[in-house]
Structure 1
């Protein structure tokens, strides 16, 4: 039983040690996974996964929605579109109770 989890404990210890010596978390994860794959499978598989996995993540259509959403919010904020929408919805909903919350929801 202990032999099954020994590589996991070693990898976790190495990861925590790298983070403790202030290596960035992303680089720590890459280094530990690269060494783990090369130990368990082969060096060729580790190099192949190092080349393939970042491309697979970057080319995934689902992950492109997050940067586009952030870009849309930045553009709307910098052009003043959001403040204009908020002012207009605040004037329209001024008579309702909870007008500030309602206008925030409407402007969103």
Structure 2
């Protein structure tokens, strides 16, 4: 199963930091996300574009996970001429994860 089958993602970026927030379509799938979508998994899946740390924040009252990704390669959204380092591109790649 791919992540996008049970969740969507909101993204934001400022300089070399991107935030990726994963939200399940059904709140009942939140525990599944907590168990399977780790900071390590996000970091390894996006390591081509993320050179720094990935920190996961659990937001159980909102049933979502937020990942703060640092060290976005190419200088991040404000200086990069490539679309690959933009938060929206990273969120699309994240949703392609096999769970």
Structure number, greater radius of gyration: 1
Structure-1-length-normalised TM-score:
0.21
Whose helix proportion is higher, 1 or 2?
1
Bigger relative contact order, structure 1 or 2 (CA pairs below 8 A, ≥6 apart):
2
Which has a greater percent of strand? Answer: 2
Q: TM-score of the superposition, structure 2-length normalised?
A: 0.22
